[in-house]
Structure 1
Amino acid sequence: MAELIAWVLVVVIAAYACAGGTDYGAGFWDLLAGGAERGKRPRWLIDHAMAPVWEVNNVWLIFVLVVMWTGFPTMFQAVFEAMWLPLALAAVGLVLRGAGFALRKPTHRLAQRRIYGAAFAVSSLLTPFFFGAVLGGIAAGRVQVGTTASVDAWANPTSVLTGLLTVTATAFLGAVYLCSDARRFGADDLVDYFRPRALAAFAAVVVLALVALPVTHDDARHVWDGLTGGMGLLLVVLAAVCGVATVYFLLRRSLRWTRYTSAASVALTVLAWGFAQRPYMLPTTLTVTDAAGDPETLKWLTIVTVIAIVLIGPLLVLLFRLDTKGELEPLTDADTQAARAPGDNL
């Protein structure tokens, strides 16, 4: 039962990486969109693409915390004791990001819009970095039961590279999804705007992954061995295939499948990390069995999880389906043309 709950945790982390990661990626491109005039249309698309579902994606994060706290309290305590600072910074980033996004759209004064927009964009960069740094520190074995908080726990080479990989992966997802949204909204100029950015983000992911190979070999050997053999290696290969397929579809301007292939590449990478860490929750000191809570608690957690999946899962699928079909926030041709800024060169 502990093994089952552990895999539920990994799958939910993968879901958050894909769903929430897309929103972080949109914020990343918001940050790089330029000044008020030049960035008007990209930010218009980001606002309309994110507005219907952006709050829903944090459900996955809450689910991760609840399952981790309830099912694996020993791990929860160890991680939050050793990593309280980056996790606190990520939490602050979540709050500022949500506030910035919610307040920017209804605000009419340009100075205030810039402040709220900067809070949203910068937090969209820093929050995934800190989450990635925490995962990197765990993978490198920097977190053990009784480990006190230190900079080395999350500012080591593996953590930094994992944080950067997380940021670039979200940028890749965000640009790919925004390409599809631009096509859906009839804004073909924005397809041409985000398509090269998606390709550039994928290239950055590849470069960082190559840089991470020797670092992981020396700094996180258990995870390295898991990623270079068995099921971990198979999932890494499948993730790479999905990434290359996304690039192929982008180059051919065939955007129908890019959402699925890009999300699959990220989800498969997270699952590969889960297989690579087996049988540990904290390599190489705390196994899944040792980290598990009381058997009775795990039994009820399993029951509640199944009920949540049965009741909430279909609703989330329906929500995202309605969003991709434009049923939640439909736009008219007049709206898409009105968003074009005079003299805006994309």
Structure 2
Amino acid sequence: MIVDLPTVWFVAIAVLWTGYFVLEGFDFGVGMLLPVLGRGRAAEADRRVVINAIGPVWDGNEVWLITAVGAMFAAFPAWYAATFSGFYLPVLLVLVALIGRGVAFEYRGKRDDARWRARWDAAIVFGSAVPAFVWGLVFANVVRGVELDADGVVRSGLVDLLNPYALVGGMTTLALFVLHGAVFLALKTDGPVRRRALAAARTAAPVAGAALFAFLMWTQADHGSPATAALAACALGALLAGAALVARGREGWAFAATAVAEAATSAVVFAALFPAVLPSLLDPAFDLTVASAASAPYTLGILSWVGALFLPLVVLYQSWSYWVFRRRVTRAHVS
């Protein structure tokens, strides 16, 4: 049996990006909610509870981004080159935000000074909100297409990338990640932080639902298929279920539902894109496709053996770390 390795690797990259959005999505949501949930007389204790809730896992979640980008570079070098050069400024902004966010997690507790911590808290919020919005902007533009010429060079400027469809995509990921993060904190904390997280989730759910509905309907209208319609229905149904479960205080099942909503939304993006990897707005003949952008069969074969060996180990290790740090975080743990 002949295996279509380019298609296999397109699916693998879609899975890696989906894993990144689901796992890092709640990290971003937690970071954006830091000043909302950590307030009042015990603001510093509650902010430490919020940060400690993701402390053992946030950097591990970013491994999915590194793996996804590395897989794009190895399996589809033309896709990697066109995407990361054409979206140079947005991706650079994401990189700066992620670096600042990582430094802030490590340095905010180095000095017992309120102004010092406030500056690093602002870096955490900025470093969470920017990627949450920009990744939606980037992938919406990838689905929509860019001004890609015959040489594989993206001619679209920054203003072209800020089109209405892409802005809706950015707002969708931003709202989804806030909801996902709020539900995660309701699941992972107790006391005042948990109560505020549940309230934040109830507030964020209608906003996320409206944004998701608008983005998915727009995507279906312009780039849809029966497969994307089924996935969009799954995403919207999961989000509605998550909102209902949050209202009932069932945060464990609500977190699973919002995770499914994010995964299904990511699947809609990649299903709408296939078999292209980067469509051209100038001429369909200039599209980068799964077949035309792929590496040589020998390279894909080697990658397949490496991925089959190491990816299960990464998943097992990360699953184990989540299990070890599964208990709720309270003020008693940070006092």
Is residue 197 from structure 1 mapped to residue 204 from structure 2 by the alignment?
no
Quote the residue 1:146 is aligned against.
153
Is residue 163 from structure 1 mapped to residue 170 from structure 2 by the alignment?
yes
Q: Does the CA-based 8 Å contact 2:14-2:267 persist in structure 1?
A: yes
Quote the residue 1:4 is aligned against.
8
Q: Does the CA-based 8 Å contact 2:32-2:124 persist in structure 1?
A: no
Q: Give 1:35 shift.
A: 5.6
Q: Does the CA-based 8 Å contact 2:38-2:50 persist in structure 1?
A: no
Structure 2: 5+ residue stretches without partners:
none
- What amino acid does structure 1 have at the position aligned with 2:294? A
Q: Give 1:214 shift.
A: 6.8
Structure 1: 5+ residue stretches without partners:
339-346
Q: Does the CA-based 8 Å contact 1:31-1:122 persist in structure 2?
A: no
TM-score by length of 2: 0.89
Match of 2:182 among 155, 170, 175: 175
Match of 1:110 among 101, 114, 117: 114
Q: Does the CA-based 8 Å contact 2:74-2:295 persist in structure 1?
A: yes
Q: Give 1:80 shift.
A: 1.5
Alpha-carbon distance between aligned partners in 2 of 1:135 and 1:44, rounded to the nearest angstrom: 33
Alpha-carbon distance between aligned partners in 2 of 1:293 and 1:152, rounded to the nearest angstrom: 32
SS in 2 for 1:105: coil
Alpha-carbon distance between aligned partners in 2 of 1:170 and 1:42, rounded to the nearest angstrom: 20
Alpha-carbon distance between aligned partners in 2 of 1:213 and 1:55, rounded to the nearest angstrom: 30
SS in 2 for 1:257: helix
Alpha-carbon distance between aligned partners in 1 of 2:213 and 2:234, rounded to the nearest angstrom: 17
Match of 1:125 among 114, 123, 129: 129
Quote the residue 1:341 is aligned against.
none
1:278–1:240 CA distance, 2 compared to 1 (3 A): same
Quote the residue 1:318 is aligned against.
320
Q: Does the CA-based 8 Å contact 1:239-1:266 persist in structure 2?
A: yes
Q: Give 1:163 shift.
A: 1.0
Quote the residue 2:31 is aligned against.
27
Question: Which string of whole-angstrom CA distances, capped at 9 and with x for unpartnered residues, describes residues 36-73 of structure 1?
Answer: 74743542321110111111011000001100011001
Quote the residue 1:231 is aligned against.
227
Alpha-carbon distance between aligned partners in 1 of 2:69 and 2:245, rounded to the nearest angstrom: 36
Q: How many residues align?
A: 322
Question: Which string of whole-angstrom CA distances, capped at 9 and with x for unpartnered residues, describes residues 281-307 of structure 1?
Answer: 113512111111111111111111111
Fraction of identical pairs, as percent: 23
Alpha-carbon distance between aligned partners in 2 of 1:84 and 1:32, rounded to the nearest angstrom: 32
SS in 1 for 2:112: coil
Q: Give 1:258 shift.
A: 2.0
Alpha-carbon distance between aligned partners in 2 of 1:21 and 1:313, rounded to the nearest angstrom: 17
Question: Which string of whole-angstrom CA distances, capped at 9 and with x for unpartnered residues, describes residues 149-172 of structure 1?
Answer: 511342111221111111111101
Quote the residue 2:301 is aligned against.
299
Q: What root-mean-square deviation, in Å, do the aligned CA atoms of Structure 1 and Structure 2 show?
A: 2.1
Match of 1:264 among 257, 260, 266: 260
Q: Does the CA-based 8 Å contact 1:83-1:153 persist in structure 2?
A: no
